[in-house]
Amino acid sequence: MTDLAGFYQNWRRGRALEPIPLDSPVDVQDLQTPALLIDLDVFEANLRKMQAYLDSVGIALRAHTKMHKCPIVARKQVEAGARGVCAAKITEAEVMADGGIEDILITSPLASVDKLNRFIALRRESPGVKVVVDTVQTAAALNERAAAEGFTAEVFVDVDPGLGRTGIAPGVSAVELVETVADASHLGFAGLQMYAGHCMHIEGHAARQQKYTRVMAPGRETLDLLADRGIEVPVFSGGGTGTYNMEATLGLVNELQAGSYAFMDIEYRDIGGESSNQFLDFEVSLFVLATAISQPQQRLITVDAGFKSMASDKMPPQFRDVEGVVFHWGGDEHGIVQLNNPSREIGLGNKLPLLTPHCDPTVNLHDYYFPYRDGQVTEIWPITARGFSL
Amino acid sequence: MTDLAGFYQNWRRGRALEPIPLDSPVDVQDLQTPALLIDLDVFEANLRKMQAYLDSVGIALRAHTKMHKCPIVARKQVEAGARGVCAAKITEAEVMADGGIEDILITSPLASVDKLNRFIALRRESPGVKVVVDTVQTAAALNERAAAEGFTAEVFVDVDPGLGRTGIAPGVSAVELVETVADASHLGFAGLQMYAGHCMHIEGHAARQQKYTRVMAPGRETLDLLADRGIEVPVFSGGGTGTYNMEATLGLVNELQAGSYAFMDIEYRDIGGESSNQFLDFEVSLFVLATAISQPQQRLITVDAGFKSMASDKMPPQFRDVEGVVFHWGGDEHGIVQLNNPSREIGLGNKLPLLTPHCDPTVNLHDYYFPYRDGQVTEIWPITARGFSL
């Protein structure tokens, strides 16, 4: 028997936060499938490359944990030099706090009483946790609760870059909200958030940069209006993997909210880079290992991974090292592989890595990562915040 | 420290199998969102209706647990009269066995050594567990392992209805495999499986019946060939929610593998019924409760549920009780609701139930069901096999 609060508490506290060490290394081929793999050499190179680049242009990294849902990964990002992390939801922030991350920004506004109370409870135990606000009402409600607790809650004002998802309109409305926050007795104005999610996947570097510059222009105007009023904006948080090398030129974002760069996926690879029609600045380090389980027709072979193992909101997956084949979704549990002119034979029982279409919702389907180096897995990483969409 | 076998064992054994009772009833509106709801009155009516219909035509029900992933739901189906259950994957079968279900058929073939061994280990503890085979090689491998254990493993021969996903070709190939199974010292021939997944969602009852009849014709020919050789087929397992009321006329399937009828979804509702352009034989009992969290523009309101809370392989979700609005995916965590001519006002903080596009992969995103009656939740059901795609 439990009450609802106790249930939510158990749900959170029951989560594993640390790697599970294996008593002897396991070959990737000995994993049961579907299994979510991380190629550690590629993953670590991605972390180093992003951090080195951002250091060189003086932009801080606030790595987005909605992508990987894993405090082990978050700690590696912070160890590599990230200022802190983002969380899309409060439950993700709780897991990151439990996992030892101090500086956490919740990037979606909270609008219900239960979630505001949950934020305050988290802020009580983790003073570095921040949240965005996009209405005067929520700012007032947060201030009242923070006052009752006797602390100052740091908040970012979320500004809508025309995406129409969250955020207050730029310009006067945003300025009014910033003033409300700045004037509130128990709120600290930490900065602006303006995340242009609709620009990240525009194909072609030039086209992406052009639209991104246009979309972010109202952010500049808002900054100017605030400057006119003598309000300093300590941090301008936004951008992502798709715009990481455009921010320095734009000169607006000084804290990058990148997530996908660590794992990458087909969707991001296909947006194109500065000097290539593929975006290869970061390499794919995340794979779903699948097994060929049936060959009902000569030119078709079926693998044991479908909608329940890989995100289905975008394109289908692709094999890492087999060409001349086409992956068709075969429903919830299967993929049907059309063997046009396969570059290698695929036999029943073979285990093959697949590039995932979209990393974030793929990760959210799995309980564990199987990180490997030189083909060997030595520990397993729980995906602690998997399914934590609250 | 653990070895890989111990890791897989802990992963399985760590799963909760029983309802979590709440010490006092909770109003649905007091749940934190996103939350996966079951309307118990509708759900129970669906179970009764399917069972009563199948009883009236003399077809057994083998409810598919890939849809709900929950032994609590499976037990209710068996209590209502189902012969047993299906599982798409061996880990689902393990969870159902752990939850007290005896008669379990694994509907996907196993083709790797690790999975065959895992099946044998499960069969050792649960004699009612069966699996399909679709190659002579797998039948031989299973027979060898069963002989070493000293038991007879019941297997179904999986026949491909032209879907090209799993199964051996109907006709002579299927007959040869049945003979291999029937002649094997430690295999029992339990019957044929022929699941025409590509017919379930054909729009229009007449069109669906026409194609289904054509697609299943090779099943009849295979049965005739087997009869010629004096081989009796005890069970012909197949069909689903979309063909449940066509099987009696067809006279082939005597064990229905239906899953979605219990919860229903938009995809199934839209296939059309015998006397309506909507399939309303079973009502929707599954909903995702979401909260309105932001209103960046006057005609848009954003809810806190996206690709990580609802299946995205099909159409977008719809509100249960708000018309005149359109749900657009807003990415992994959000839905952007276009307020064309809303039948009721949606305010920030409001919690609203959504019909899910496709129930199976939606369920697989959630850790818990919140079943309710008269608006009150008295216990929470763990979705025990969630994420068990192995």
Render pLDDT for B335-345 as a digit per residue (tens, 0 to 9): 999 999 999 99
Helix (H, G, I), strand (E, B) or coil at A179: helix
Task: Note the pLDDT of residue B307.
Answer: 98
Backbone angles phi and psi of A49, in degrees to 5: -65, -45
Render pLDDT for A144-179 as a digit per residue (tens, 0 to 9): 999 999 999 999 999 999 999 999 999 999 999 999
Backbone angles phi and psi of A62, in degrees to 5: -115, 95
User: Looking at the whole model, is its pTM more than 0.95?
Assistant: yes
Which of A8, A91, A136, A165 to mutate to test binding with chain B, by most B CBs within 10 Å of its CB?
A: A165
Distance from the B56 Cα atom to the nearest Cα atom in chain A, whole angstroms? 31
Chain A residues with beta carbon closer than 8 angstroms to that of B311: 307, 312
Distance from the A370 Cα atom to the nearest Cα atom in chain B, whole angstroms? 11
Task: Note the pLDDT of residue A72.
Answer: 98
Distance from the B98 Cα atom to the nearest Cα atom in chain A, whole angstroms? 20
Distance from the B365 Cα atom to the nearest Cα atom in chain A, whole angstroms? 6
Task: Note the pLDDT of residue A9.
Answer: 95
Q: Which of residues 211-270 of A touch B (CB under 8 A)?
A: none
Q: Which residue of A has its CA nearest to B24?
A: A3
Render pLDDT for B108-167 as a digit per residue (tens, 0 to 9): 999 999 999 999 999 999 999 999 999 999 999 999 999 999 999 999 999 999 999 999
Confidence grade of residue A119 (pLDDT, cut at 50, 70, 90): very high
Let me know whether B189 and B325 are in one domain. Answer: no
- Segments forming the whole domain that contains residue A144: 40-262
Q: Choose among A22, A115, A361: nearest Cβ to B332.
A: A361
Q: Which of residues 307-366 of B touch A (CB under 8 A)?
A: 307-309, 311-313, 329-334, 336, 348-349, 351, 358, 360-361, 364-366
Let me know whether A152 and A227 are in one domain. Answer: yes
The amino acid that residue A212 corresponds to is Y
Does B20 touch chain A if contact means CB atoms closer than 8 Å?
Answer: yes
**Strand A300-303 to strand A335-339: parallel, antiparallel, or no bridges (unpaired)?**
antiparallel
- Answer for the pair B163, B196: CB distance below 8 angstroms, yes or no: yes
Q: Give the residue from B384, B326, B370 showing the smallest Cα distance to B32.
A: B370
Q: What percent of chain B has pLDDT over 90?
A: 99
- Helices (H), strands (E): how many in chain B? 11, 18
Q: How far apart are CA B41 and CA B49, in angstroms?
A: 12
CB atoms within 10 A of CB B261: 26
Q: Give the residue from B86, B81, B77, B85 showing the smallest Cα distance to B52.
A: B81
Query: Residue A153, CB half-sphere, CA atoms under 13 Å: how many?
Result: 33
Residue A274 resides in a domain: no
Task: Note the pLDDT of residue A165.
Answer: 97
Let me know whether A94 and A217 are in one domain. Answer: yes
Q: Read off the DSSP letter of residue A383.
A: -
Chain A residues with beta carbon closer than 8 angstroms to that of B137: 348
Residue B288 resides in a domain: yes
Q: Read off the DSSP letter of residue B123.
A: H
Chain B residues with beta carbon closer than 8 angstroms to that of A13: none
Render pLDDT for A211-255 as a digit per residue (tens, 0 to 9): 999 999 999 999 999 999 999 999 999 999 999 999 999 999 999
Residue A147 resides in a domain: yes
Distance from the B79 Cα atom to the nearest Cα atom in chain A, whole angstroms? 25
Taking an 8 Å cut-off on Cβ atoms, the answer to whether B88 and A332 are in contact is: yes
Six-digit token string for A290 = 């699948």
Confidence grade of residue B178 (pLDDT, cut at 50, 70, 90): very high
For residue B346, give the CATH number of its domain.
2.40.37.20
Let me know whether B47 and B142 are in one domain. Answer: yes
Q: Choose among B23, B108, B351: nearest Cβ to A1.
A: B23
Taking an 8 Å cut-off on Cβ atoms, the answer to whether A313 and B308 are in contact is: no
Helix (H, G, I), strand (E, B) or coil at B40: helix
Which residues, including other chains, have CB under 8 Å from residue B46's CB and lie 6 or more apart? B261, B262, B263, B264, B282, B283, B285
Taking an 8 Å cut-off on Cβ atoms, the answer to whether B333 and A89 are in contact is: yes
Please, what sign has the CA dihedral across residues B244, B246, B249, B253?
A: negative
Does B151 touch chain A if contact means CB atoms closer than 8 Å?
Answer: no
Let me know whether B159 and B75 are in one domain. Answer: yes
> Which of B42-46, B248-252, B273-277 comes out lowest in average pLDDT?
B273-277
Task: Note the pLDDT of residue B331.
Answer: 97
Last residue of a domain, one of B203, B228, B263: B263
Q: How far apart are CA A245 and CA A222, in angstroms?
A: 23
Last residue of a domain, one of B237, B263, B289: B263
Chain B residues with beta carbon closer than 8 angstroms to that of A169: 296-297
Exposure class string for A331-341: b at 16+ Cβ within 10 A, else e? bbbbbbbebee
| Segment A366-375 mean pLDDT | 98
- Answer for the pair A190, A154: CB distance below 8 angstroms, yes or no: yes
Task: Note the pLDDT of residue B108.
Answer: 98
Owner of token pair 């046009």: A340
Backbone angles phi and psi of A37, in degrees to 5: -100, 145
Six-digit token string for B163 = 């879907």
Confidence grade of residue A313 (pLDDT, cut at 50, 70, 90): very high
Q: How far apart are CA A289 and CA B81, in angstroms?
A: 38
Task: Note the pLDDT of residue A59.
Answer: 98
Six-digit token string for B223 = 């049965």
Q: What percent of chain A has pLDDT over 90?
A: 99
Q: Which residue of A has its CA nearest to B364?
A: A308
Six-digit token string for A175 = 């300025």
Owner of token pair 């930490």: A190
Does A114 touch chain B if contact means CB atoms closer than 8 Å?
Answer: yes
Chain A residues with beta carbon closer than 8 angstroms to that of B339: none
Last residue of a domain, one of A232, A262, A292: A262
Residue B103 resides in a domain: yes
Q: Which residue of B has its CA nearest to A302?
A: B165
Taking an 8 Å cut-off on Cβ atoms, the answer to whether B312 and A309 are in contact is: no
Taking an 8 Å cut-off on Cβ atoms, the answer to whether A291 and B111 are in contact is: yes
Chain A residues with beta carbon closer than 8 angstroms to that of B169: 296-297
Let me know whether B51 and B28 are in one domain. Answer: no
Distance from the A298 Cα atom to the nearest Cα atom in chain B, whole angstroms? 10
Taking an 8 Å cut-off on Cβ atoms, the answer to whether B164 and A390 are in contact is: no
Chain A residues with beta carbon closer than 8 angstroms to that of B303: none
Does B154 touch chain A if contact means CB atoms closer than 8 Å?
Answer: no
SS3 content of chain A, % helix, strand, coil (to 5): 35, 25, 40
- Which segments of chain A are extended strands (E)? 20-27, 35-39, 60-64, 84-87, 104-106, 129-133, 153-158, 187-194, 235-238, 255-256, 286-297, 300-303, 318-319, 325-329, 335-339, 351-355, 368-372, 376-382
Render pLDDT for B88-109 as a digit per residue (tens, 0 to 9): 999 999 999 999 999 999 999 9
Does A23 touch chain B if contact means CB atoms closer than 8 Å?
Answer: yes
Residue B274 resides in a domain: no
- Give the containing element (helix H, strand E) for A76: helix A71-79
Render pLDDT for A75-107 as a digit per residue (tens, 0 to 9): 999 999 999 999 999 999 999 999 999 999 999
Q: Does ipTM surpass 0.90 in this model? A: yes
Residue B387 resides in a domain: no
Chain B residues with beta carbon closer than 8 angstroms to that of A351: 112
- Which segments of B112-234 are extended strands (E)? 129-133, 153-158, 187-194
Does B390 touch chain A if contact means CB atoms closer than 8 Å?
Answer: yes
Owner of token pair 């309109």: A169
Find the Cα–Cα–Cα–Cα dihedral A286, A81, B332, B259, rounded to 10°.
Answer: 50
Chain A residues with beta carbon closer than 8 angstroms to that of B297: 160, 164, 169
Find the Cα–Cα–Cα–Cα dihedral A369, A370, A373, A377, rounded to 10°.
Answer: 150
Let me know whether A180 and A303 are in one domain. Answer: no
Let me know whether A155 and A168 are in one domain. Answer: yes
- Answer for the pair A370, A9: CB distance below 8 angstroms, yes or no: no
Task: Note the pLDDT of residue B133.
Answer: 98
Does B32 touch chain A if contact means CB atoms closer than 8 Å?
Answer: yes
Task: Note the pLDDT of residue B51.
Answer: 98
Confidence grade of residue A137 (pLDDT, cut at 50, 70, 90): very high
Backbone angles phi and psi of A356, in degrees to 5: -90, 145
| Phi and psi based region of residue B223 (left: phi greater than 0; alpha: psi -120 to 50; beta: remaining) | alpha
Q: How far apart are CA B19 and CA B14, in angstroms?
A: 15
Taking an 8 Å cut-off on Cβ atoms, the answer to whether B348 and A30 are in contact is: no
Let me know whether A197 and A68 are in one domain. Answer: yes
Residue A268 resides in a domain: no
Q: Number of structural domains, chain A?
A: 2
- Which segments of A219-275 are extended strands (E)? 235-238, 255-256
Helix (H, G, I), strand (E, B) or coil at A234: coil
Q: How far apart are CA B185 and CA B162, in angstroms?
A: 31
- Give the containing element (helix H, strand E) for B292: strand B286-297
Chains A & B: contacts with CB separation below 8 Å: 231
Chain B residues with beta carbon closer than 8 angstroms to that of A108: 293-294, 304, 333-334
Taking an 8 Å cut-off on Cβ atoms, the answer to whether B308 and A114 are in contact is: no
Does B305 touch chain A if contact means CB atoms closer than 8 Å?
Answer: yes
Which ranges constitute the DSSP H helices of B245-369? 247-250, 266-269, 359-363
For residue A219, give the CATH number of its domain.
3.20.20.10
Task: Note the pLDDT of residue A102.
Answer: 98
* Cα of B316 vs its chain's centroid, Å: 20
SS3 content of chain B, % helix, strand, coil (to 5): 35, 25, 40
Residue A98 resides in a domain: yes
Distance from the B3 Cα atom to the nearest Cα atom in chain A, whole angstroms? 5
- Answer for the pair A354, A287: CB distance below 8 angstroms, yes or no: yes
Let me know whether B242 and B335 are in one domain. Answer: no
Q: Which residue of B has its CA nearest to A330?
A: B165
Helix (H, G, I), strand (E, B) or coil at B105: strand
Task: Note the pLDDT of residue A170.
Answer: 98
Let me know whether B59 and B26 are in one domain. Answer: no
Q: How far apart are CA A22 and CA B179, in angstroms?
A: 44
Rg (CA), chain B: 22
Let me know whether A350 and A314 are in one domain. Answer: yes
Taking an 8 Å cut-off on Cβ atoms, the answer to whether A365 and B367 are in contact is: no
